[in-house]
Each structure stands twice: as structure tokens, then as C-alpha cells.
Amino acid sequence: MAQKRNPRSSVEDRWHRADGSPSKAYAKGKRWRARYVDEQGQDHARSFERKTDASRWLNEVIAAQVTGNYVDPRRGAITLKTFYQDWSQRQVWVRGTLANVDLAVRSVTFGDVPFNDLRPSHVETWVKDMLERGLQPSTIKTRFNSVRAVLRAAERDRLLPRDPAANVRLPRSARPEAAMQIPTPAEVGQLMDGCTEHLEPLRAFVVVCAFAGLRLGEACGLKVSDIDFLRGEIQVARQSQKGEIRAPKYGSSRTLYVPQEVVTELAEHVRKFCPGDDPDRWLWSTAKGPWTADIVQPRFVRLREKVGLGYTIHHLRHYYASGLIAAGCDVVTVQRAMGHQDATTTLRVYSHLWPRAEDRTRRASAAMFAESTADALRTGTARESSDLR
């Protein structure tokens, strides 16, 4: 077994021997050769015309080794596309996540660039290309984050000296208050009333989205056993996506507390559209299984066209959140009801709906003023009565 060589480095003069006499390589090829042995005992060399260039390159390699940023040049020749094919097979992903990351990686403009040559400019060019092709800032951010996860994995595996996507600026998204549409109570009522004839099974679907804040997939994944009709509770335990049933997004299993009106709507739906006595039967299903987005969306499009509104099902979720906030619910309460991963997500999406400090100050001052004037009025009335006596 060959003995492993210790790390070392040097700059050699190929044209002269140690005593200064010409060597066999004199005047042939580049004069200076920088050589080093890495931590794995592998020998690496590169030739240069000038000694200063050889020394500079070798110093950079040594600095990378000291700081932990060293990458074996042979491993750095791997491309993003090649690395992803292997790395993605080891990830514990649901089918939807795999499809989204596949799409993001296929969209990059630097998939065949060796990691050794990958620069932030490559990532910036890709981001600009997506923007020029008309992709929304939110879509660009999602794809960017997916690809960056792959790059960070390559960095951890010592194939990249550093993450080239760090500090790359993304196009700014519109402020939540500018982009968010929230139906009015009357408009939600119009959607419910529009669920007649072949759209009648959609009425209860609108109800759980508007008055319990369920995501589309979570509503599709409801079973009769998830509804506690006596306590007025809905258990969100799964979501139905095309081709699979899986846990709710971000692990957001939760219990929702709903009013009697919602319970009544669900009970009527079960009576009309969920025959049988199996407690685990789906609330919405076809012969092939529970509803999925490709079944719900076309029906909802027909519903909104029927009533003359342009909202999506997700706007009903915004309606629920806005109602909780208007009723005075705090951030954590809204977070739990919405099934957000953390309160930061809730604030990022809905912070503009909470009363601002100046609004609270103004209302508090108004209440103080009303109380003071009421006390003055009572005092004045009492004084007038005393004078009359």
C-alpha cells in the first residue's frame, strides 16, 4: 500500500537546476511550475510564464486550504446538472417538492458550467433572464431558493469554495397590501349562493375555505371523521394533491374551532353528498378518490363567472385571516389558525391588516375623550339638579 504524502507546496524553476545550470527543459514550455500536495496526498501542478504568477496562485490555494474553502480541482469540474442528478436522489422530498426543484434546476442558464468556473455573475444572468421572460418576482424567488439549496449542498461536499448565489439581488415583490385581494362578506355570500345545481357540492368547500381558512389541498383532504359536529372542531390532518395524500404543508396539522353555522353547512353537505356510514369517507370525492386542485379549480372558475367575481380560492383564505385580525386576534392565534410555520410568515403576509400604532393611539385617545366628556356631563347634570333644589 502506497504511503500517503504529507501536504506541501513549492514553486520550481523548470529551466534551471539547483546549481543554476540549464536543465533539459530549458526554454521549453513555461518556466515556472507551482506544485502542492493536498490533504488527501494528491499531487497538483500548474505552469506559469512568471514566478510571481505561480506564487500568487499557490498562495491562493494555501489560503483556501487554511480557511476551509479548498476544492480539489478535479472535483470542481463537476457541473450543477451532474451534481443534482445524484444529490436529488438522496433527498427526503414529497413528489411536489421534487417536481418544483427539478423545474428550477432545469431553468438555470449555468447547468453545464463546472463548479470551478461558477461565479455570482452566472447566477445574476439567470435571475435577469427569468425576469425578462416575464416570471413574477415570487416565482423567481422560489426557483432561486431551490437552486441555492443545491449550491449549498455542493459547498458542504467541498465541490464549491463558496456559495455563488450569496448576495445576489432578486427583483422586489409588490407590497402585500398592494397585491392582496380580500372579498367582502357580501361577495363571499354571493359565492355561497351561487353554488346551485351541479355546483351545489362546492358550497361547503367555499365555507371551509372562507370561515376556517383551509388551503385548497387541505379542504380536499377532509374526511367526515375530521369533523367533530358536537364540539364544532375541524381536524386538519392531511392534504390531497394530485396523485398522493400527504401531511399538511410545513407540518401544519391543527385543530380549527368553527361556529355552529359552519357545522350546520357541513352536516347538510354530508347528508346530501356523502352517502354511507364509513366515518373515514371523503367529504369531496369522485370514483377515483378525493378531490384535487384539477377538479376544484375548473368548478370554482365556473362559479365565479356565474356570480361575476374574479377571486380565487386562496382569496377566501385571506378573507378568513382578515376577519380574525379585525376581531382582535393576536399574531400567534392567527398563525395557528392559518397553519403557518411561524409567526414571521403571518406577519410577512398580513402585517398591514393589523392596526398601526397611530391607529391604536388615536382610538385610545378617543375613548379617553369620550369617557372624560361623559363624566363632565354627569357632573354638570348633578350640579344643575343641586342648584334647582
Of 256, 169, 168, 252, residue with least CA distance to 209:
256
The predicted pLDDT at position 267 comes to 97
User: Which pTM does this prediction carry?
Assistant: 0.65
**Average pLDDT of span 284-311:** 95
Amino acid at 31: R
The better pLDDT of the pair 183, 367 is held by 183
pLDDT, tens digit (0-9, with 9 covering 90-100), for 64-73: 665 555 555 6
**Average pLDDT of span 323-348:** 92
Strands 244-246, 239-241: pairing is antiparallel
What proportion of the chain, given as a percentage, has pLDDT over 90? Answer: 52
**Average pLDDT of span 245-267:** 91
pLDDT, tens digit (0-9, with 9 covering 90-100), for 111-148: 999 888 899 999 999 999 999 998 989 899 999 999 99
**Average pLDDT of span 167-195:** 85
The predicted pLDDT at position 104 comes to 95
> Across all residues in the chain, what is the average pLDDT?
86
Instruction: Please check the confidence at residue 25 and state whether its pLDDT lies above 60.
Output: yes
DSSP line for 69-116:
----TTGGG-BHHHHHHHHGGG----HHHHHHHHHHHHH-S-TTSBGG
